[in-house]
Every structure is written in structure tokens, then in C-alpha cells.
Amino acid sequence: MADSTRPEARIPRGFIDRRARDLVAERAILDAVSSIYERYGFERLETGAFEYADALGKFLPDADRPNEGVFALQDDDEQWMALRYDLTAPLARFAAQNWETLAKPFRRYAYGPVWRNEKPGPGRFREFVQCDADTVGSARPEADAEIIAMAVEGLEAAGLPAGSAIVKINNRKLLNGLMTAAGVADEGQKLAVLRAVDKLDRLGRDGVRLLLGEGRKDESGAFTKGAGLNAAAAERVLAFTAAGVGGRSETLAKLAEVIGGSEEGDAGLAELDAIDRALAGLGVGPDRAVVDPSVVRGLEYYTGAVFEAELLLSTTERFGSVGGGGRYDDLVARFTGERTPATGFSFGVSRLAAALRAAGRDLAAEVRGPVVVIAFSQERMADYFAVAGELRAAGIPAEVYLGSSGIKAQMKYADRRLSPAAVIIGDDELAAGTATVKDLDLGRELAKGVADNAAWREQRPGQQVVPRAELVQAIRKILDGRP
Amino acid sequence: MADSTRPEARIPRGFIDRRARDLVAERAILDAVSSIYERYGFERLETGAFEYADALGKFLPDADRPNEGVFALQDDDEQWMALRYDLTAPLARFAAQNWETLAKPFRRYAYGPVWRNEKPGPGRFREFVQCDADTVGSARPEADAEIIAMAVEGLEAAGLPAGSAIVKINNRKLLNGLMTAAGVADEGQKLAVLRAVDKLDRLGRDGVRLLLGEGRKDESGAFTKGAGLNAAAAERVLAFTAAGVGGRSETLAKLAEVIGGSEEGDAGLAELDAIDRALAGLGVGPDRAVVDPSVVRGLEYYTGAVFEAELLLSTTERFGSVGGGGRYDDLVARFTGERTPATGFSFGVSRLAAALRAAGRDLAAEVRGPVVVIAFSQERMADYFAVAGELRAAGIPAEVYLGSSGIKAQMKYADRRLSPAAVIIGDDELAAGTATVKDLDLGRELAKGVADNAAWREQRPGQQVVPRAELVQAIRKILDGRP
């Protein structure tokens, strides 16, 4: 093939290839969280990757791209389809489409990739995996509380030690009450206030104060226009966001002082109060879920309570949200015209995997390669396969080396695959009915300086000859890390 | 919202929503097959959904749509991207992109959705799940044999009883040898012959004879132009396809008579002979894998051995392929210019799930709902949650009904969720420290006429009052189906 006609081997911008290390951790999280969802009576649903563009709606925050941040294309009947940007919009479409025949309330969980046509950047991908649970058709605050309880238990089931993460709860109605109290009337100004508050973690109070007022210039010199509040109103907003210290009922009492009296604010406080009581009934104390009025979710479809799960780590690295959700009572009504209460939560699975690594729970560290049977001679392949077959039958991953390189390269291959051991069966071994086992785990441990060379070598031979009948047992000893 | 502005709630054409029944079966298959792949030392890889269009290439058969059957769109830097149509093309791109740093041969497995922009029809979807294993960087026939062995074991691990499925093996080189023997020279004519042979299952020998000659008119009157072979050549092709009866070496001997002597035919026969011997070494007998010269895979990138897994059921329903694969030694070279031997196999996961159902192994039948705790009164929600919490802590899926309907509707809800039992805790039960358990499994069994009404009722009460401390035990008895 001529050079000029060859395509370049490259992955599209903003997408990544993921190997065993990442995928093992992801699968473990999905299994753990799914099992919590199922224990709460949620049923799995998987919708297609595409939705009609009008069904998805336009709810993405800060859409800086055409098609409002989605990947869209026109079908051959000229209808616009787009890849889902989350799992909630497709659920709303599914619930509306099947409402008459569903057992209600409809409790469903789902996981899978979602796609956002955003500007890619370091650590910012255009495809990522979410894992959601939602209840459609219940207006009860208990439904919100249950969603929060599952988020809390999901974090723990995924492997985050109790106390290392927390779910923060807020309510859009409180924010609306605050808007009334701060004299904000216009929708655009309101959105600007919400976006400013959403940046509290990243910019701090001083940065947010600027964004609530005239605006803020960032380090690069770029100017972001502010919400245009006067100083007193901005302080009121900041006071509101600072009320989230202490237990849930304590915070609610403080908030009542700041925004109590506005109709919507009082409604929001009453909902949070009911959620607080239901959480107590579900055994979720203030060490696992708090009321925090600084929480603002980016998506625009939320109508009531909103939730955000955050990692609490005393590391130097800042660590943001690992998931979030809230109540969206109008999303199904977009289709049916009938208000249908709904609430849910979504884990960002890669964020959660990163959180687990930050908390010292790196599941990827447990990835191991197969036992490699060294291939000496084409004539003996059947013998090598017999050995590999024995190991597999005993549940031990094993392979015969199938490349064309020599013994040294085969050993290097086994080491790079993180194989626990290599098995060598030459003519001598075949004649004697034995196998030589090379302990590659040991080699890696010694290289890391973890083990004391002399002491280990005494009980754990780097290489040993065993009778064929004892091969499985010898490999098991290495796998178990015991001499 | 005004009616005119409401979007219609509908899933795009050719896509489907899948609920627990389908997903439980799919997950079980993916787990079973992945575990076989891992036991053979294959490492999981997940590439992104998109590839650059030039990287995907144009290998789809019968592309009847623009963009050669893929979903494509232009990125904002004007490059064309397309959703993957299989898992092999992205693997070739990945292998080429990372060739220098990979441990070789590179053994990877993968599963996930693929997308084809085809005309949707009944049972023909534009999104479906594949589960693949491939070895890149080994020219050895043992690599092919191992892929076949994994396909065979995968079918069994997924739940197909031994003997109910078989892997058929062929080699593109044999077909080329046949072409030489039949006097076919032109590429277009060759492709027409392959496509005719590929329809043997569907059209039978007479239909294929027409397609090998001038052409064939189908029932609708539509005419498909044939390959234009003369009668003698067409008979030779048909004789070739009929050689696949008996053991592998028997078939190979028959084939040598038909096509032996052509250089490529002999090369193909030698490869199949080596695969046959390696399969024997891997313990895969002719009851699980046969040589069948009628097998033609649709994808155009295969260069040598090709495989196809088929269900063998004595049902009236025809049942085609549940997976297939082959050797594609040129796919990585598209990028690098260097020939890189590769071989692999792909399961069609929904096809495999359908095959399992046809074989009477319906995993979906095991799907059950959660225990439903009936909600009588808002004041008692904490008590209901406590009961549901107890059941969950014992590993039993449970939920409190969170809708707004009365007791009768709640019971109906529980039944529609396929709940094994409903728990009723009214004022009497609360005062007495008891719970009423309604056995919904029993109700469904009786409704099906499976159980003898009187005999069952004697040992298994439809409804019973138990002390709260014995609730978990009472539910377990129902779940275990034992009185």
C-alpha cells in the first residue's frame, strides 16, 4: 500500500482507549452500585444510544458548540437524531412512551456511555459512563430520600470507606426563594446567579462575589460577565450558601431565617424537612447526607430537591463531585403535557473510580496476567496446550505463547503481561514428567524492594522443578502469595 | 405546554428499549464468555464509540445506504467520524497506534454495542452488542485453533448444552483455489460467487445454483443478478460446498480432490490441517468444530481461516449464525504498511440470547421483583422503611410502595413487578409486633395451573401472620419455593 493512501492510526479527539486496569475498576463499581439499586427494587433498563433530537431537549449547561453540545446527525428520513448526553432524558422519553403499561411508580436503574460534543481537554472526555437510578411517578419526599440513601450506600459498596464521602442536598425552590429575597426577577439574571454559586468550590467566595456582581477576569485575562446584583443582594446570596454547616435540621433552621416567608422558599424548606425525616427512617445520618445550600446542579431540568455526592479526602488534590441528581417534575410532561413527578441520581463512573484511587482503593492494582507456558518447539505444541488446559480447568488463567520469538523474549512477554508465573517444559521435563515453574510475582516483588531478598528466597524459590501432577498446586501457592 | 410544541415520545427507528428480562440474559452471557476469554489470557479493551471514518475503512457487506452503512458525522475540525460497525476495525486501529509498546502477540477481548446504518426491519436493529476475542501478531494456526476453542467453550459457558451448537471452519484460500479451479478471474465475479454461497442456508442448493449462474427472481419478483458461471463451473462450486460432511480430516481429504493443485487452495488446506491438529491438542473434537466449505463470512477483510458458530436445534424455526470470525492479516497493515497477522471471533450477543431461549435456557425467566412493603399511612412510613431495610440487610430486594394509590392497587403493583411477596403492616400488626406476609409467587403458580391448589395450600399458606423477628425467614421460604 502506498504511504499516501494509508490512514493514520489515531483515536478521535476527546475519546480514549481503556485497558484492563481501568475496566476492572469500572466493572467492580457498576456491579456494586447495580446491586444496591436492585436491592431497593429498581429494575434495569437500557435505551438505545440515539434519541430524536426533539426528544432530548436542550438542557445542557454552557453549551459552547453547535447542536447544543450533542452529537447529532440526520437520518435518511431527514429526522435529526442525537446520541444521548445523559440517561435521564431517554428515561423521560421511555416513561412517556410507555406510561400506560408501566407498573407505577416506575423504578429503574441504568448504566452506559453518554456523549457530549464539548471541547475536549485534559481529563475532559466526550464519552463517559454514568450509572443512574430514578423513580418516576412518585411526588413523595420519601422517593428523594431513598434515592439519596442509595447514593450513600452505593458510594460505600463501591469501596469508599464510611466517612470519606458525603451527599449534599439542596432544593431549587430554596434558590428561587432566595432570588425573591435578593430581588432577582429576570430568568437570565437568575441563571447567572446559579452559575456563579455553582463555582463556589472552584473560585471561592471572593470569585463568586465578583460573578454575582459586575463580573470577573480570570488568570488568562478573559472576562466573564456577572449577574449584576447589588452588593447587599450578593451578600445575601453568599450568606445563604454559607448556611450549610452543622446537622440537617440545624441548617434548615438557619435557612428559614434567611429566606423564610417567600412562598417558594417555604415550600422548599418543607420538602427538605420531609426528606430529612425520611432519611432518618432509612438510617442515613448527618455523617452521610447533609443539607448544603451551596449545591447547584448544572442541568436545567431540575425542579425541586437536588443532590450532589462529594469525596471528603484530606489530600492536597481538590476532588469535586462524583455524582448528582435531583427532582425533575416537568421532564415527562414535555411529551405528555401531564406533570409527572420524578427524581433520580447519577454516578459519574470514571470520577468514582478516580475517587477510589485517591482514597487508596485501587482495584486496578489487582489485575494480573495469565500463567504463560513457554513454547520451545513446534513439535511440542500439543504438550504445552495440555498444560495450559490443565491450569484453565483448575480456574487459573493460562496461555501458550503464540508469537515467534525466542525464550528470553517470551519471558519478557510474560513479565509485561503481569503473569504470576511462567511454565517451562523442555525435553528434560517431558522425559522426567516434570515442569519448571518460574515465579514472576516474586521477581516483581523483589524489584519493588517490598520483600527481603534473602528471607523470601529461602521459603519461596524463584524457580523450581515440580512433578507434573503438582503443577497446579505450585502455581496456586504463587497466586496465593504463600510459600 | 401547548400540544403543538410537544415532541412525540418515540424511540428512533431501528433502536430498541430493553428491560430486565433481556438485560439479565445479556449480562449472564457477557460474564460467562468474558470469563472464558480471561481464562485463555485475553485482556479486556474498550475503545471509544467513534473512529475517524478513514480508520474504519469500508468492509461492510451489501452496504445499501450512504456512508457505507455507518453512522457518520463531521467533527468541528471538519474530520469525518463514524460510530464503530464492529469491534475488529477499532482493534486494528488500536493495535497499529500502540504497536511498539504492546506485549505481543496482543490478546484482547472486548464487548459493547456496535452500530449499522442499515434499513431497519423486524428483528433487524441498527444497534446491537458484540463480544469478541482476537489475537494480533501471531501467524500460527494454533492462534486460530485457540480462537475456535474459546468460541466452543463460550457457547457452552453461556448455557448451550454440549452438542446443541457447533463451530464451522473454512478458509478464504480454499475459496480462491476453487475460483481458480472454476475459472473465475475477475474480483467482481468472485464476490458474486461468495455472496451466492453465503446464501446456501437461506435459499438452498437450487437457489444458489441460480445465483451462481444468470441470476434469481425472488418471491416478490425482484431479480438478483447472478455470478455468470457456466453450468460445469457452478456444479464444481456446489460440489465444493457439499464436502463438509464427516470428520475434519475426512472433509479435508475430499476437498483436496476438488481443489488440490492450485497453489492457494493447497495453502488453505495446509492451514486447516494445522488448525485441525491444534484443535485436537486443545481437546476440541469433531462434535464441536467441523470443517465446512460452505461457510462464507460477509465482511470483506478476512484473508484466511473463517469461522462461524451455529445452533443445532431440531426445532421448526430456522436458526442461523450466533457468531463468527476469521483471520484478517491485512487490517493492521492498512495503517502501518506492515503485514500483521491477526485472527478473532465475535459473538452476536442478542443472537446468542435468542439461541439460548430456543434451546430452552431462558435466563430471563428467573427475573423476580422485590418484596413490596404496603404503605397504609403516611405516619407509619418510618416503620415500613425499617421493614424494607431489614429485608435488604438480609440480601433480599425490597421496597416500600411510594405511589399514591390504595391497597388494592398496591397489591396489583407488587404482582406486576413479579414480587415474590407483599408485606402488610397495619395498626394491628404494629401493636402485636407481627407482619402479614402475602405469598404472591404462590398466586402466580396457582394461576398458571402448575401447582395442585389443595395440596399446596395445605403446606404453603397464601397469607400468614408471623412475628416480626421471623419475617426474613418467612420471606426466604417463599423465595426458596419451599414450604
pLDDT in tens, B2-16: 455 799 999 999 999
ipTM of the complex: 0.90
Average pLDDT over chain A, rounded to whole? 90
Nearest to B302 by CA among B338, B326, B270: B326
Reported as a single tens digit per residue, the pLDDT across B77-103 is: 889 999 999 999 999 999 999 999 999
The average pLDDT across B436-447 equals 88
Nearest alpha carbon to residue A8 among B51, B303, B343: B51
Cβ-based neighbour number of residue B225 at 10 Å: 10
Contacts of B113 in chain A (CB under 8 A): 49
Distance of CA B217 to the CA centre of its chain: 32
Q: Are B256 and B238 in contact (CB under 8 A)?
A: no
Residue of B6, B35, B39, B330 for testing the chain A interface, max A β-carbons within 10 Å? B39
Which is more confidently placed, B391 or B66?
B391
pLDDT at residue number A424: 96
Question: Identity (one letter) of the amino acid at B135?
Answer: T
CB within 8 A of B444, min separation 6: which ones?
Answer: B415, B418
pLDDT, residue A128, reads 96
DSSP, collapsed to helix, strand or coil, labels residue B183 as coil
Half-sphere exposure of B141 (CA within 13 A, CB side): 24
Q: Residue B337 and residue A282: Cβ atoms within 8 Å?
A: no
The answer to which of A53-67, A127-141, B118-132 has the lowest mean pLDDT is A53-67
Q: Do the strands B342-348 and B127-136 form a parallel or antiparallel pair, or are they unpaired?
A: antiparallel
A39-43, B64-68, B332-336: lowest mean pLDDT where? B64-68
Does the pLDDT at position B266 exceed 50? yes
pLDDT of residue B60: 66
Q: Is A118 on the interface with B (CB under 8 A)?
A: no
Task: Sort out which chain B residues have CB atoms less than 8 A from A404's CB and list them.
Answer: 138-140
Count the Cβ atoms, other than its own, within 10 Å of residue B427: 10
Q: How far is A319 from chain B (nearest CA, A)?
A: 25
Compute the average pLDDT of residues A93-102.
97
Enumerate the H helices of B159-262 as residue ranges: 172-182, 187-198, 200-212, 231-241, 248-259
Comparing C-alpha atoms, which of B298, B333, B326 is closest to residue B92?
B333
Hey, of A97, A392, A400, which one would you mutate to test binding to chain B, going by the most B CBs within 10 A of its CB?
A400
Looking at residue B1, its pLDDT comes to 42
Contact predicate A265/A176, CB 8 Å: yes
pLDDT (tens digit per residue) in A313-328: 765 556 788 999 999 9
- Chain A touched by B386 (CB under 8 Å): yes
Structure confidence at residue A182 (pLDDT) = 86
Mean pLDDT confidence for A111-120: 94
Q: Shortest Cα distance from B296 to chain A (angstroms)?
A: 26
Q: Note the helical H segments in B372-439.
A: 381-393, 407-416, 427-432
Nearest to B48 among A15, A105, A397 (CB): A15
Query: Quick count: other Cβ atoms within 10 Å of Cβ A393?
Result: 12
Residue A454: which pLDDT band, with cuts at 50, 70 and 90? Answer: low
Any B CB within 8 A of A9 CB: yes
Are B326 and B306 contacting, i.e. CB atoms less than 8 angstroms apart?
Answer: yes
- pLDDT tens per residue across span B166-213: 999 999 899 888 888 888 878 889 889 988 988 888 899 999 999 999
- Interface A–B counts its CB contacts (< 8 A) at 274
Asked if the C-beta of B454 comes within 8 angstroms of chain A's C-beta atoms, the answer is no
**Stretch among A217-226, A447-456, B200-209 having the lowest mean pLDDT:** A447-456
DSSP string, A255-271: HHHHHTTSHHHHHHHHH
Element (H, E) at B216: strand B215-217
For residue A280, the surrounding DSSP H or E stretch is helix A263-281
- Each residue of B279-322: pLDDT tens digit? 999 999 999 999 998 887 766 789 999 999 999 876 555 678 89
Q: Mean per-residue pLDDT for B367-395?
A: 94
pTM of the model: 0.91
Q: Quick one: pLDDT band at residue B64, thresholds 50, 70, 90?
A: very low
pLDDT tens readout for residues B361-380: 887 777 889 999 999 998 99
Q: Is A138 on the interface with B (CB under 8 A)?
A: yes
Task: Give the separation between CA B167 and CA B161, rounded to whole angstroms.
Answer: 14
Greatest mean pLDDT among A214-223, B31-40, B188-197: B31-40
Q: How confident is the model at residue A457 (pLDDT cuts 50, 70, 90)?
A: low
Q: How far off is chain B from A398, nearest CA to CA, in Å?
A: 5
* A72: closest chain B residue by CA: B73
The Cα–Cα gap between A153 and A10 comes to 40
> Helices B248-259 and B231-241, interaxial angle, to 10°?
160
The size of chain B, in residues, is 483
Q: Does A76 touch chain B if contact means CB atoms closer than 8 Å?
A: yes
Quick one: pLDDT band at residue A65, thresholds 50, 70, 90? very low
What's the pLDDT score for residue A19? 96
The helix or strand, by DSSP H or E, that contains position A391, with its residue range, turns out to be helix A381-393
pLDDT tens-digit map of A275-289 = 999 999 999 999 999
Which H/E stretch holds residue B113?
Answer: strand B106-115
Give residue A325's identity as a one-letter amino acid code.
Answer: G
Pairwise pLDDT comparison (A363 vs B56), residue with the higher score = B56
Confidence of residue A1 (pLDDT cuts 50, 70, 90): very low
| Strand-strand pairing, B305-311 and A72-74 | unpaired
Which of A213, A173, A222 lies closest to A193, judged by CA?
A: A213
CB contact under 8 A, B399 and A41: yes
Locate the DSSP E strands across B262-373.
289-291, 305-311, 321-327, 342-348, 371-373
pLDDT the model gives residue A2: 43
